[in-house]
Amino acid sequence: MESKRELPTCDVCQQPANQTCGGCKQVYYCSRSHQKQGWKDGHKTKCCPFKIQFTSALGRHMIATRDIKQGEIILKEKPAVTGPRMASTAHCLSCAKKLQPSMIEENLDYYKCPLCNWPMCSPECAKDEVHKNECKAMTGKGYKSSIKYDSPEKAEAAYCVIAPLRVLLMKESNTKQFENIMNLESHLDKRINTHLYNVLKINLVAFIKNVIGLPFKDETILQVASIFDTNSFDVRSPDGTKRFRAIYVTASMMNHNCRPNTRHIFVGKDYNIVILATVPIAKGELITATYTQSLWGTLDRRKHLKQTKCFDCECERCGDPTEFGTYLGNIYCSLCNGLFNDNGLSTGAMLVSTNTFDETAPWKCEKCDHYIQSRQMFWGNNALKQDLNKLNKSGPQELEEFIEKYKLTLHPRNHLIVQAKLALAQIYGNYEGYTLPELPNDLLNRKIEICHELLELADKLEPGWTRFRGTILLELQAAMSMQTKREFEDQKLTKTGAQDQLMQSMALLQEATNILRVEPHMVETLEAKVKELSNQLDTANSFPE
């Protein structure tokens, strides 16, 4: 016999109901008035287009409870706790600003909190609420920081105590939030015997127990450090002067995917996180973020995820030896190599991993029977990475030479070549001596060509409304507008041709604006760019036919 389906009931009066909340599609109401009442009674703070589920393979993760549109805000959340990074150069403990030493009593030193002696940016910050509890806990036990800062660029390990201390002090001051944080995944069992955690056992545990005298077990103290390592977001102010770690309890329920469907930004003076859908997300789909760099090859991404987040990524991209046909992490086969097409690019075949989920699996040529061991790939990759890191990136010359030097080994979309091209896209058009008006036509064309390549790559690896796409679109439209101006002045373009090209630039700028206008610090720049391009269009329109 068919079982009777239970009728949904109204969240307010528990009577049968047939209307759902439009925001989450999870809660039912019998009428419009009860929907309004439910909203006021507290649904307002709980309504969201996702739910948290659990599976043994993925742990807790976010699932869309309704279709989510591209660009839609999925979640806005305050940080549960913030703190300096594990090892940090001198940063203010309150506002997180990177500090510069100044002359204090004839010595180059930082301004320090008069009570606990940690470097701060000002007396106001020393008195700030964020710092109050830890300052009291330290000075109450007669502790004063005595770190000797050798250089403003040297990261100090002593900072590792601050963020865990803030969480542990919450047990008394904000018990609910303390429990929320302690409920997060830590992977302490996998981290506890690593070198870093052996150091923390000596420094952090001794500081919390012996110096501050807090009655926590060693394991609880290390668990907090491990919760930070697993869940915290790296937060930076738009101008790059402030940098810290923050835990957002709900946002940290987003699992990782190497082709994510969200991005996040931080807004307001409290650095609230805003999670945005970069592509349309269908009801029932996982809502994912990336914990690594999208422009790294699979070997590097999986290694980073294993080391920092303690899991083996088995997403679709990691499972595809060509990374959706981009060959981002691949190199040419040294036997098949040597043939070129008309553009001077190698037409050789690629070496691909025989099992991307096994980092020890050999790599094989797609055309011939040539194999190499995975460790050769690792070594080669690392050697070239070091080569790239050493380059002078204040100008284009060494980056262009790198691309030329490795064109027989690395595909034009190999991640190292892509990183060099990304740097070039910024240099051409922006750096001194290479600003758009100064750029010769061949370099202007080079910038445009690189921007197109990068956008194509982004479509495959991190599609949709990502910050990467928004930024490259801005670079491309600026270069294209300059190209149009020059071609029109050189009479290579008719008035209609110029108008058409400027309209294409405007379409790119519109898309960049749709992507980036949610970032408050971008609004002014975007408005200025729209105004500039509109003026250029008006000028073109005013020319006689």
Ligand X SMILES: C[S@@+](CC[C@H](N)C(=O)[O-])C[C@H]1O[C@@H](n2cnc3c(N)ncnc32)[C@H](O)[C@@H]1O
Q: Footprint of ligand X on this chain (CB under 6 A)?
A: 58-61, 184-185, 187, 230-231, 252-253, 255-256, 309-311, 313, 315
User: Nearer to ligand X by C-beta: 47 or 310?
Assistant: 310
Among residues 105, 101, 198, the alpha carbon closest in space to that of 151 is found at 101
Shortest separation between residue 289's beta carbon and ligand X, angstroms: 9
Among residues 254, 161, 248, the alpha carbon closest in space to that of 199 is found at 161
User: Nearer to ligand X by C-beta: 252 or 501?
Assistant: 252
CA distance 471 to 423: 13
Ranked by CB distance to ligand X, the top (closest) residue is 59
Shortest separation between residue 251's beta carbon and ligand X, angstroms: 9
CA distance 253 to 185: 9
Please, what is the end-to-end C-alpha distance for the chain in angstroms? Answer: 80
Among residues 73, 20, 17, the alpha carbon closest in space to that of 43 is found at 20
Could you give the C-alpha distances from 224 to 82, 159, 185, 254, 435, in angstroms and in order? Answer: 13, 14, 10, 19, 48
User: Nearer to ligand X by C-beta: 255 or 484?
Assistant: 255
Per the DSSP assignment, residues forming a β-bridge with 375 are: none
Shortest separation between residue 358's beta carbon and ligand X, angstroms: 16
Shortest separation between residue 61's beta carbon and ligand X, angstroms: 6
User: Nearer to ligand X by C-beta: 58 or 345?
Assistant: 58
Give residue for tokens 């000596």. 202
Could you give the C-alpha distances from 441 to 411, 445, 462, 534, in angstroms and in order? Answer: 26, 6, 31, 23
User: Nearer to ligand X by C-beta: 355 or 394?
Assistant: 355
Shortest separation between residue 258's beta carbon and ligand X, angstroms: 9
Shortest separation between residue 232's beta carbon and ligand X, angstroms: 9
CA distance 483 to 481: 5
Shortest separation between residue 163's beta carbon and ligand X, angstroms: 16
Coarse DSSP helix, strand, coil percentages of the chain, rounded to the nearest 5 percent: 45, 15, 40
Strands 255-256 and 286-289: parallel
Shortest separation between residue 264's beta carbon and ligand X, angstroms: 12
User: Nearer to ligand X by C-beta: 43 or 301?
Assistant: 301
CA distance 497 to 500: 5
User: Nearer to ligand X by C-beta: 187 or 393?
Assistant: 187
User: Nearer to ligand X by C-beta: 58 or 199?
Assistant: 58
Are 56 and 63 contacting, i.e. CB atoms less than 8 angstroms apart? no
